[in-house]
A and B are shown apart, each in its own frame.
Chain A
């Protein structure tokens, strides 16, 4: 039972354009969501997060939007840069859990 779903395994965009990565979740207990970025041969690094009391959080070129009624969140990268090419993992937690539940990841390629 996949509680966090990233339905697009890959995404390709042109440099300077917007990248939109999507994530859906099924567990109503989730109340905190995170995005991690992973380059090949490196461990994931934290990118941005959002609490369920908000519907938007912004950090520079990165914005995460949360739609609780749809159990959907998205990560927007504007403008996209070639250095953003990586695998992006959506993760969720809540209900007092000490664990994160990760999605399968979306591989973003930003073409120069």
Chain B
């Protein structure tokens, strides 16, 4: 079974803090994604990576950066957290292109106070 794990299920941070969200997959997948899920807005793509050290902006990259130093690990960084970044963050990975199944982690519920 493919497993995608996220470092925290729940996280509370203060405005202005630097926040790291970690995602690890164990299936040697090439592509990894970060989404955020908000009520009434669905899943929105923040960033994705199709190889180590490669990254592409998604639909809402502002206020975020990413890092992929190893194939299995994809990190989402909030340089200076703001209250409008309070959300559910979901990591996903897939072995191939967009028609291949994306496997999601359990999510991190981030609250920024």
Please report which residues of chain A, range 69-103, place their CB below 8 angstroms from some CB of chain B when the two chains form the complex.
89, 91, 93, 97-100, 102-103
Interface SS majority for chain A: loop
Across the interface, do A98 and B40 meet the contact criterion of CB distance under 8 Å? Answer: no
Cβ contact of A104, chosen from B41, B99, B103, cutoff 8 A:
B41
What B residues does A104 contact at CB under 8 A? 40-42
- Interface residues of B, CB < 8 Å — how many? 27
Select one of A41, A51, A91, A98 contacting B48, CB under 8 A: A98
Given A93-B99, A98-B48, A99-B58, CB of A45 within 8 Å of CB of B104: yes
Could you say which of A43, A49, A89, A93 contacts B4, with CB atoms under 8 Å apart? A43
Bound-complex Cα distance A10 to B24 (A): 33
Any chain A CB within 8 A of the CB of B92? Answer: yes
Contacts of A32 in B (CB 8 A): 98-99
Chain B residues whose C-beta falls within 8 Å of the C-beta of A43 in the assembled complex: 4, 90, 92, 104-107
**B residues near A89, Cβ cutoff 8 Å:** 42-43
For B33, what are the chain A residues with a Cβ–Cβ distance below 8 Å?
99
Pick the contact of B43 from A41, A44, A97 — CB < 8 Å? A44
B74 interface residue per 8 A CB criterion? no
Closest to A104 in B: B42
Contacts A43-B105, A99-B58, A100-B102 aside, 6 further interface pairs with beta carbons under 8 A come to: A6-B42, A41-B106, A46-B103, A51-B99, A98-B56, A99-B33
**B residues touching A (Cβ–Cβ < 8 Å)?**
4, 9, 31, 33, 35, 40-45, 48, 50, 56, 58, 90, 92, 97-99, 101-107
